[in-house]
């Protein structure tokens, strides 16, 4: 008796499934658009979706020791303000005479909202990837620095 019921259910499902699929498909095809499509303007200044610019608490002070080719290290401080201005200070440690670079100005965000460029910087790094509580110095082409020293190019946000 159980075998008979199982076979009946099997054949019944084979018959009903195609019927259900085709009936659902035909209903969706029958829908008619009665209103014209509305096109909304999109703000082109901000990228759509979450990115560093709109999802992170990026304003603040970032500090770290960056590698130096002809000195011990570069003590670097960058202050990012919510009005898109910055203050940059770099102290070159291990030179005969310590060198201090200071610069203030505005910074701009990349189109994808993930990187910043410190405008007006002629000496020192000018492009950074903005991460969760850190800035990562980028190379001259705006790409991440790779290799054994890659983690040395990070500035950490201060509490």
pLDDT tens digits, one per residue of 119-138: 998 887 899 999 999 999 99
Mean pLDDT, all residues of the chain: 80
Q: What is the CATH number of the domain that holds 87?
A: 2.40.128.640
> Considering the entire predicted model, what is its pTM?
0.67
Range of the domain at 90: 52-157
Q: Does 105 reside within a domain? A: yes
Question: Confidence class of residue 36 from pLDDT cuts 50, 70 and 90?
Answer: low
If one counts the domains in the chain, the total is 1
Q: Does 89 reside within a domain? A: yes
Question: Confidence class of residue 101 from pLDDT cuts 50, 70 and 90?
Answer: very high
Q: Does 29 reside within a domain? A: no
Exposure string of 91-101, with b = 16+ CB inside 10 Å and e = fewer, is bbeeeeeeeee
Q: Which residues contact 87 (CB under 8 A, 6 or more apart)?
A: 77, 78, 79, 81, 102, 103, 104
């Amino acid at each position: 008796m159980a075998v008979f019921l199982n076979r009946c259910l099997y054949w019944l499902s084979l018959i009903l499934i195609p019927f259900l699929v085709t009936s659902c498909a035909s209903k969706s095809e029958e829908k008619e658009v009665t209103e014209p499509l509305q096109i909304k303007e999109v703000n082109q200044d901000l990228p759509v979706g979450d990115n560093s610019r709109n999802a992170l608490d990026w304003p603040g002070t970032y500090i770290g020791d960056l590698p130096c080719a002809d000195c011990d290290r570069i003590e670097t401080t960058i202050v990012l303000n919510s009005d898109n201005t910055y203050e940059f200070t770099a102290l070159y440690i291990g030179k005969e005479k310590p060198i201090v670079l200071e610069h203030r100005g505005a910074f701009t965000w990349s189109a994808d909202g993930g990187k910043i460029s410190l405008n007006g910087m002629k000496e020192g790094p000018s492009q950074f990837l903005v991460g969760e509580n850190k800035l990562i110095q980028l190379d001259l082409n705006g790409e991440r620095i790779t290799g054994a020293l890659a983690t040395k190019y990070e500035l950490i946000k201060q509490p």
